[in-house]
Amino acid sequence: MQIETKLPKVGTTIFTVMSQLAIEHKAVNLGQGFPDFDGPQALRDALAAAMNAGRNQYAPMTGLPALREQIARKTERMYGRKVNVDTEITITSGATEALFAVIAAVVRAGDEVIVLDPCYDSYEPAIELNGGRAVHVALDPHDFSPDWQRIADAVTPKTRMIVVNTPHNPCGSVFSAADLDALAELTRKHDLLVLSDEVYEHIVFDDAAHQSVLRHKELAERSFVVSSFGKTYHCTGWKVGYCIAPRALSAEFRKVHQYLTFCTFTPAQVAFAEILEKDPQHYLDLPAFYQAKRDHFCHLLDGSRFKLLPVGGAYFQVADYSALSDVDDLAFCEWLAREGGVAAIPLSAFYESPPAGQRLIRFCFAKNNETLQHAASRLKVL
């Protein structure tokens, strides 16, 4: 049977491709963005206790009330924003589900959605599956900051929403308060919705504060904010995230969520509610934890031929390899896994049209120090 694909541009993701290369060539995998260490023991114990206590059936569609209550408290504590536990917070089966549900809820056939390149690879397929068109606007190629005038120039009468991501995957750039003001001006002028991907909200470095759109009253009233427990608690395989949005937007979001996954793994919700209440210090300590890994990895690569770009947040390090090779980034990453023994991700995978001559790759430093040392020892001899 011949099936006409709805996603003709989509193949196997670059993360799967590079992870497979890492396995085939026994390369150190700094490609796919997941830690190689476990989350807190107390969290794992709470999960086991919840299962053994019989908390194994469907959770409410919107998420366990206890977990939504803890998220509301955290949101007010971190960003000064009071959110309604019952009408503005929805627990999801990972951030990717939340991103898809937002887009499915509000993007109509013929709508345009602005995405900022390089961008996470799930945005565009979700937009296209729902009849929209992704309009790609490039971030600054040197520091990956947004050019708000260039973004404004991309708005048309068909523009429905803009997707922003801070801290940024893959580049580690972060929004400033001025960026929030510029975003608010843009969305006010053109009556746009905002999808704010903030899954790395607790991984911001150098004493900076995460500039969530929830800090900005005007933006909070027209935004869907998506976050991830997997990133915060080093358990990406649990696939638990959440979406915060005003009541009217959450109502539309939930119409999709209830038929997409309906609800999310109940024992994990019990566990996250418990650890948020008993150990808020975990997410407060996360910036220092990952900054130490960033600095350690950079120190390990001192004297290498890689030029490391500044990283303000998230757990990825972008590196310029132009002193090593002039081949394109995909070919270089394939060579690096095969001959250099380290897997990375080519930055071009996150672009519609990567800048000509760009020679950048992404390493993940959410790894044990031993893993980083092993990778660095291979990278430094290249």
Among residues 278, 299, 317, the one where a domain terminates is 278
Mean pLDDT throughout 261-265? Answer: 97
CA-closest candidate to residue 242, choices 180, 107, 233: 233
> 291 and 233, same structural domain?
no
Question: How many CB atoms within 10 Å of residue 207?
Answer: 8
- Classify residue 139: in a domain, yes or no: yes
> 34 and 171, same structural domain?
no
Residue 208 has a pLDDT of 97
% of the chain surpassing 90 pLDDT: 95
Residue 32 has a pLDDT of 86
| Structural domains counted in the chain | 2
> 74 and 33, same structural domain?
no
Residue 346 has a pLDDT of 97
- Classify residue 258: in a domain, yes or no: yes
- Classify residue 49: in a domain, yes or no: no
pLDDT at residue 75 tops 90: yes
The CATH number covering residue 354 comes to 3.90.1150.10
CB 225 within 8 A of CB 196: yes
258 phi and psi, to 5 degrees? -65, -20
CB 239 within 8 A of CB 230: yes
> 360 and 260, same structural domain?
no
Q: How confident is the model at residue 352 (pLDDT cuts 50, 70, 90)?
A: very high
Residue 28 has a pLDDT of 97
> 161 and 134, same structural domain?
yes
- Classify residue 272: in a domain, yes or no: yes
- Classify residue 44: in a domain, yes or no: no
> 178 and 161, same structural domain?
yes
pLDDT at residue 27 tops 90: yes
pLDDT at residue 56 tops 90: yes
Residue 261 has a pLDDT of 97
CB 228 within 8 A of CB 71: no
Residue 41 has a pLDDT of 98
Quickly list H helices, 235-328.
247-260, 266-278, 281-300
Residue 1 has a pLDDT of 84
Q: What is the pTM of this model?
A: 0.97
> 174 and 68, same structural domain?
yes
Q: Domain of residue 247: give its range.
A: 56-278
- Classify residue 6: in a domain, yes or no: no
pLDDT at residue 9 tops 90: no
DSSP code for 58: P
Give the distance, in angstroms, between the CA of residue 181 and the centroid of all CA atoms in the same chain: 22
pLDDT single digits (tens) 360-381: 999 999 999 999 999 999 999 9
> 192 and 84, same structural domain?
yes
Residue 347 has a pLDDT of 97
Residue 173 has a pLDDT of 98
Contacts 24+ apart (CB under 8 A), 134-138: 134/352, 135/159, 136/351, 136/352, 136/353, 138/351, 138/353, 138/355
- Here the tokens at position 279 are 């150990």
Cis, peptide link before residue 35, omega less than 30° from 0: no
pLDDT single digits (tens) 185-244: 999 999 999 999 999 999 999 999 999 999 999 999 999 999 999 999 999 999 999 999
| Angle at CA of residue 94, ends 75 and 6, nearest 5° | 130
CB 226 within 8 A of CB 199: yes
pLDDT single digits (tens) 281-336: 999 999 999 999 999 999 999 999 999 999 999 999 999 999 999 999 999 999 99
- Classify residue 264: in a domain, yes or no: yes
Among residues 278, 309, 336, the one where a domain terminates is 278
pLDDT at residue 10 tops 90: no
pLDDT at residue 11 tops 90: no
> 323 and 192, same structural domain?
no
Residue 207 has a pLDDT of 96
Among residues 227, 247, 278, the one where a domain terminates is 278
What is the rounded end-to-end Cα distance, in angstroms, of the chain?
A: 49
Question: How many CB atoms within 10 Å of residue 120?
Answer: 18
